[in-house]
Amino acid sequence: MGAAAAEAETRTPVEDWWRGAVIYQIYPRSFRDTDGDGVGDLPGVLEKLDYVASLGVDGVWLSPFFRSPMKDYGYDVSDYCDVDPLFGSLADFDAVLVRAHALGLKVIIDQVWSHTSNQHPWFVESSASRENPRSDWYVWVDARPDGAPPNNWQASFGGPSWTWNPRRRQYYLHNFLSEQPDLNYWNPEVQDEILKVARFWLDRGVDGFRLDVINYIFHDRALRDNPVALYDHPPLMTTRFQRHLYDKSRPEALEFLGRLRALTDSYDARMMVGEVFDEAMLERQQEYTAPPHRLHTAYSFFLLYASEASPALFAEALTAWSGAAGWPSWSLGNHDVDRVASRLAAAGGGAHAEVLLAVLICLRGTIFLYQGEELALPQARVPLEKLRDPFAIAAYTGGSGRDGARTPMPWTPEGASAGFSAGAETWLPVDEDHKPLAVSRQEADPASTLGVTRRLIALRRALPALRHGRAVVVSAPPGLLAFERGQGETRLFCLFELAGQEASIPVDAGWAPAMTLQGASIISAAVNLPPYGAAILRRETGAS
């Protein structure tokens, strides 16, 4: 018995709700606006929870709704324990939590613990002088003799990771915007304070945390220069000029995860999913989920950064986790990357998007589905003058960047805001191409992508082998992805045509379709797949 199986056997199904779950990501700013200001809010989340529950998902992940000056749209927190008035109040959040639980939905919330806003009271105090109770809560370093920053580290949004503070006459570290100073986790008081924040929300009843860039919480204490990265041509942003060996993914971060895990596990049926952003994507994902003292699960950008959804991509993801001790999470899209329908499924339209949804739902791991993916929304067009995301603006080369995945959710095809808001203006414009794909229109069509999504999720819920079972990649002709899932006496054979061509693969007798897409069929001991078709086959065997 492997370490992962041994851990699973010591936990009850209730405690393990997250293992194999499908979780729906809500980006509150763009989900539903109830007060007409053009920005989504928590009452809007509450209003649409019945729709989320109708998808059959197990829970929701709420992107940040905390007090923030919104320099990075909520990922620059100025108060971890309060709701920004833009989104509502703590009472509104409590109402969301109560209703979600009544619908059988778990609620996990974003926690941005690597850094704060520069308007957070902790930083305001820390930056005031070198002698105050929080003077060492952030990473302060003297300049080099020539006034230069202490090393060559480059921030993810471009430019040096260091900003000069005239009052302290020192540089402070920020891995992202200068308005997002990094907390100093070498200081035990910082760790203790973050644990207090976690307790605040756990006591309030949340079911878990999504931990933003959790591998960034520690930096190399010696402040060594990062080595130069190899590249064929100059990268888009200066951060790609170097390998980030010393400003993230430091071993000390794993020790703090042990403290977080102990706290989380002291509550019933809670979980943590980490966002682990690193060049060693799958390796780091496994490192951060190794039981029993690290995260319950984590996702990397292995699938999120893919530009082609080839069979080899998914086969590598599954094979890399075969026999691993931890538990993976997978997503094809979120608020940080171009939408799946444009990034990975542009060649085959709706059928292509649906087969990729089928692949995602059939993977071994915990699945995250970003709002709008169930509608096959393409990347929205946002003109330069209407871009809001600082990274989209800084990295502008003609596309809409992250803002193209953050535009308002289309609920109806009518009106300027497609049912998102009663206001005259929305914080980002609604793309006209999204309106024909609106929820109300797809609700009326069982054959729509929304209908396909519901059937896929229902199948995963109905088949423990799909939710929890082992996964083994099977050799298949070019363009086909094939793998088996299995648990107990149930075996599943999952086949997906990803190249846009008709394909056929022989199968043994005894397989019966559990679900097919695009008219896939079994004829004469062979599965016949149309372009972007899928077949999930089932058979019952002796105990395995």
- Write down the catalytic residue from 58, 179, 275, 278: 275
SS3 250: coil
Calculate the alpha carbon distances from 429 to 337, 385, 418, 489 in Å. Answer: 18, 11, 10, 51
SS3 282: helix
Q: How far apart are CA 83 and CA 68, in angstroms?
A: 9
Q: Do 139 and 182 contact (CB within 8 A), yes or no? A: yes
Calculate the alpha carbon distances from 534 to 367, 483, 524 in Å. Answer: 19, 12, 18
What long-range pairs does 461-464 form, CB within 8 A, spacing at least 24? Answer: 461/56, 463/490, 463/492, 463/514, 463/538, 464/488, 464/490
Residue type, 29: R
The 10 Å Cβ neighbour count of residue 90 is 12
Assigned token pair, 152? 């060559």
Block residue for tokens 């709002």: 371
Assigned token pair, 163? 């900003």
Q: What is the 3-state secondary structure (H, E, C) of 332-393?
A: CCCCCCCCHHHHCCCCCHHHHHHHHHHHHHHCCCEEEEECCHHHCCCCCCCCHHHCCCHHHH
Q: Do 238 and 158 contact (CB within 8 A), yes or no? A: yes
Block residue for tokens 């107990």: 488
In sequence order, which residues have a C-beta less than 8 Å from that of residue 251 and are 6 or more positions away?
Answer: none
Q: Alpha-carbon dihedral of residues 62, 64, 70, 71, nearest 10 degrees?
A: -110
Calculate the alpha carbon distances from 206 to 93, 101, 116, 229, 476 in Å. Answer: 10, 10, 21, 41, 43
Q: How far apart are CA 115 and CA 108, in angstroms?
A: 20
SS3 17: coil
Residue type, 537: L
Active site annotation includes 212: yes
Q: Do 45 and 35 contact (CB within 8 A), yes or no? A: no
Q: How far apart are CA 460 and CA 452, in angstroms?
A: 12
Residue type, 20: G
- Write down the catalytic residue from 182, 212, 247, 354: 212
Active site annotation includes 7: no
DSSP E strand boundaries for 408-488: 470-473, 480-487
In the 8-state DSSP scheme, what is residue 242? B
Q: Which string of DSSP letters, residue by residue, matches 42-73?
A: HHHHHHTHHHHHHTT-SEEEEPP-EE---SST
3-state DSSP: the chain helix, strand, coil percent, rounded to 5? Answer: 30, 20, 50
Catalytic residues: 212, 275
